[in-house]
Amino acid sequence: MTPMPTSSTAAPTLPLERRGPTGPLDGVVVLDLATFGPAARCTRILSDYGATVVKVGAVAGSGVETHRTPYYLYSGARHLRHVSFDLKAPAGRDAFLALVRGADVVVESFRPGVVDRLGIGFEALRAVNPRVILCSTTGYGQDGPRAAWAGHDINYLAVGGYLGATEPAADGGPPVSGATVADAAGGGMHAALAVMAALIGRRADGPGVHLDVSIADGVLWLTSLPVDEYLATGAPVGFGHDVISGRYACYDTYRCADGRWLAVGAIEPKFYANLCRLLGCEQWLGVQRDDAVQDAVRADFAAAFATRDRDAWVDVLAPADTCVSPVLDAAALAGDVQFASRRAFVEATVPVRARGDGVPATFRQVGPVLAGMAGVGEPVEAGDPSRSDVEELLGAAGIAAGEIAELRSEGVVA
């Protein structure tokens, strides 16, 4: 294989045609070494903003456990390319570095130190591409006493203060979150934000930067309102200590006659007054934040809400400046008129070769809904993780077809 150049001169970005709608990150090439979790969330965001994302997996039989995700996970791999390497083999590693030379960003989620042992750490990457941005996503960061700990979403929510600030479960213990807040926001959005800032800050010829994305740090930022209050005042904080953590009846959830629930967030006095009048609870108008009567206010609110079905209350209260909304589960929000009006869901078509084994020809998914993303509401073709784009990718990196065939036969790329 052709030796990798080590010049400090940056190579041009890989000439890859964008799959799917373009966006503000059009022309940015991202190599994603992750399968699950925050790193995959990060590159999903980057792709939906127009970046060309290449999913980099392990060659079967290379000694690395491989995972095939469900066809619908992470937006069904829409608009992504796929390639596999044996990074433990020198020829496989060199082939990967050939892609790095023409990439803008590499995203990985190995434990600290693994990329260095594989020979693809930041120093190795910038030796072939001084402009490259390496984004390392881990649970606790590249250093510190927890750096080597294994973990998942619940662990980062626990150490970052999120569980401790949430209403306790029936047994008094911290609850289990039904959504992967740490992975999606503390890790994935955190990483995507850091990558986009690094792209803006990078000059034409570099230097690149190594981004140390700690999911726990991201959760800490998400819970910084109560944490900052404690740091500044020393006062106890947690569930029920202030208006947005359940201290008052004006900020709570209530069961309706049909067993479904409403969320109430009437913080401002004018919204609280509207709520009291429409519930027939005018007796509580002047005591919104009187701790002595909150149990009584809650009881009267609960009794009022229990007299009508949820949607009947929504029809009355939501348009009347009361800060009331329905609590929707996945099945309900899939048919929600607000999301439908904003074309939040799209139809995805599965490539023929990827169908079978319970994989349908079409399915619905959440579209590119974040502000500034292109292609909102448009049909998409789901990705096919079994397909390899190795010839296109390595060819774009300047490797001859004969060399690619030889690498394939050696089992170091696929």
**CATH code at position 309:** 3.30.1540.10
183 tagged catalytic: yes
Same domain, 44 and 171: yes
- Are 84 and 157 in the same domain? yes
Mean pLDDT by 10 residues, the chain (414 residues): 43 82 94 94 96 94 72 91 96 97 97 97 97 98 97 97 92 91 97 97 86 98 96 93 94 98 98 98 97 98 98 98 98 96 94 83 94 88 88 96 96 96
Say whether both 218 and 249 belong to one domain.
no
> Do residues 189 and 284 share a domain?
no
User: What is the per-residue pLDDT for 377?
Assistant: 81
Residue 361 lies in a domain: no
**Distance separating alpha carbons of residues 197 and 62, to the nearest angstrom:** 35
pLDDT of res. 2: 37
Please check whether residues 158 and 41 belong to one and the same domain.
yes
Report pTM.
0.93
What is the predicted pLDDT for the residue at 62? 67
* 123: in domain: yes
pLDDT at 4: 40
Tell me if 358 is assigned to some domain.
no
CATH number at residue 120: 3.40.50.10540
Residue 250: per-residue pLDDT = 98
Q: Would you state the pLDDT for residue 8?
A: 44
Residue 56 lies in domain: 29-222+370-410
Residues 115 and 57 in one domain: yes
C-alpha 329, offset from chain centre: 19
Check whether residue 152 and residue 55 sit in a common domain: yes
* In a domain? residue 343: no
Q: Are residues 218 and 266 in the same domain?
A: no
Q: Would you state the pLDDT for residue 35?
A: 87
Which of 371, 37, 332, 330 lies closest to 181 in space, CA to CA?
A: 37
Q: What pLDDT is stored for residue 20 in this prediction?
A: 86
> Tell me, what's the pLDDT at 383?
86
Q: Is 16 among the domain residues? A: no
204 and 116 together in one domain: yes
User: What integer pLDDT is reported at residue 138 of this predicted model?
Assistant: 98
| Residues sharing a CB contact under 8 Å with residue 98, sequence separation 6 or more, in sequence order | 2, 4, 394, 397, 398, 399
Q: For residues 340 and 351, is the Cβ–Cβ distance under 8 A?
A: no
Has residue 405 been placed in a domain?
A: yes
- The verdict on 63 and 197 lying in the same domain is yes
Q: What angle do CA 411, 69, 107 make, to 5 degrees?
A: 70
The residue from 48, 104, 153, 183 that is catalytic is: 183
Last residue of a domain, one of 326, 356, 381: 326
**Domain end residue (candidates: 302, 326, 350):** 326
Residue 347 placed within a domain: no
Among 300, 326, 352, give the residue marking a domain's end.
Answer: 326
- What is the domain count for the chain? 2
The verdict on 162 and 195 lying in the same domain is: yes
124 in a domain, yes or no?
yes
Shared domain for 177 and 322, answered yes or no, is: no
